[in-house]
Structures are given as structure tokens and as C-alpha cells.
């Protein structure tokens, strides 16, 4: 079986790393989908609302707020323009995200893929998890709450899939 590389930088263009201003899960998910709309990842307000509702629905299954200040909301939708995109929001004050450890979230990696994108969705989630581990984001999160540090580690991350 041939292996290929998933390069996170290919799915996080300029503008996809930004500071989150909202402080609750629902508000943050809306802020993220509004950002995707403003970057033309989502074509219009209707698509932004649809993706927002899909992300909320996913959260009802169980919080994507993992532990140590990180959340990875995700959904598959044909409303996005590229095959996959990753938006990375950081919060300086923390977000009430119903995380599994009960603590606030400071980094939100949102993965949006097209419905027929195959396994790239799972590969992206795995790559983000590996990056979190490799760079110690869970223990050194305060070092990564700025676009420069996040861009640096995103640009360096390549994973075999």
C-alpha cells in the first residue's frame, strides 16, 4: 500500500488562523463559520448557517473539546469550496466548550471536508492529534496562542497517511 503525506499547511491558508473573541461554544462555532464565509470557504450565509448547524449537531453527540484546552470540531459538508479546510482559532481568555476535563478551551481546530472526500477527514484529525502531541500543545498551550507560533508548527507538520 502506497503512503502519501498529508501536509497540514495545504489546508490552512492565510486567514485561517485567527483570534476568537467569543467565549461560549455556540458563539465560537458561529464565529468560525462566519470566518469561513468571509474567506469564501463557504459561498454564502446559507452555507455558513448550514455548517454551523452541522457543527452544533456534532457537538450534541459529545463535546469535541478534548482535554488541556483544545477542541477539534469537525463535519463533512458539500457546502465548502475546497475538498478540505482547517480553521484554527485561538482564545486568550478561554472558551466554555464542555470539554471532557471541564476546563476552558484555548485552541479550536475546525476541520471541514466534503462528504465524498474519503479518508482525508480522518487523516486530518489524526494529523492534528499528532501535532498536538509532537509540540506539547496540551502542556504548553500559552506558547501557541498567536498566529506566528501556530503558523510555524502548521507549516512543519507532514504526516504519512
Q: Report how far residue 68's alpha carbon sits from residue 72's, in angstroms, rounded to the nearest whole number.
A: 12
Which H or E element spans position 133?
helix 120-134
pLDDT in tens, 9-52: 999 998 999 999 999 999 999 999 999 999 999 999 999 999 99
**Phi and psi at residue 41, to the nearest 5°:** -70, -40
pLDDT at 2: 52
CA distance 73 to 58: 8
Which residues make beta-bridge pairs with 76? 113
Half-sphere exposure of 100 (CA within 13 A, CB side): 11
pLDDT in the model for residue 138: 83
- Band the pLDDT of 67: cuts 50, 70, 90: confident
Rounded to the nearest integer, the mean pLDDT of the chain is 91
Q: Is the dihedral of CA 72, 63, 100, 102 positive or negative?
A: positive
Q: Assess whether pLDDT exceeds 70 at residue 161.
A: no
Q: Can you give the residue ranges of every domain in the chain?
A: 5-160
- How many other CB atoms are found less than 10 A from the CB of residue 47? 19
Residue 160 makes CB contacts below 8 A (sequence gap 6+) with: 3, 4, 5, 6
Dihedrals phi, psi of 113, to nearest 5 degrees: -130, 155
The CA radius of gyration of the chain, in Å to the nearest whole number, is 15
Q: Is the predicted pLDDT of residue 103 greater than 90, yes or no?
A: yes
Locus of grid cell 479518508: 119
For residues 78 and 37, is the Cβ–Cβ distance under 8 A?
no
Q: Which CATH architecture has domain 5-160?
A: 3-Layer(aba) Sandwich (3.40)
Neighbours of 49 (CB within 10 A): 16
Amino acid at each position: 500500500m502506497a503512503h502519501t503525506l498529508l501536509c497540514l499547511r495545504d489546508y490552512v491558508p492565510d486567514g485561517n488562523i485567527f483570534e476568537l473573541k467569543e467565549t461560549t461554544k455556540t458563539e465560537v462555532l458561529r464565529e468560525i463559520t462566519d470566518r469561513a464565509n468571509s474567506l469564501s470557504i463557504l459561498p454564502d450565509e446559507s452555507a455558513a448557517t448550514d455548517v454551523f448547524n452541522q457543527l452544533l449537531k456534532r457537538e450534541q453527540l459529545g463535546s469535541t473539546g478534548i482535554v488541556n484546552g483544545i477542541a477539534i470540531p469537525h463535519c463533512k459538508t458539500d457546502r465548502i469550496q475546497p475538498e478540505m479546510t482547517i480553521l484554527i482559532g485561538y482564545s486568550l481568555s478561554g472558551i466554555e466548550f464542555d470539554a471532557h476535563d471541564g476546563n476552558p478551551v484555548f485552541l479550536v481546530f475546525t476541520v471541514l471536508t466534503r462528504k465524498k472526500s474519503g479518508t482525508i477527514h480522518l487523516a486530518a484529525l489524526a494529523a492534528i492529534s499528532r501535532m498536538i502531541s509532537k509540540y506539547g500543545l496540551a502542556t504548553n498551550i500559552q506558547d501557541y496562542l498567536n498566529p506566528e507560533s501556530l503558523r510555524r508548527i502548521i507549516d512543519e507538520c507532514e504526516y504519512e497517511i
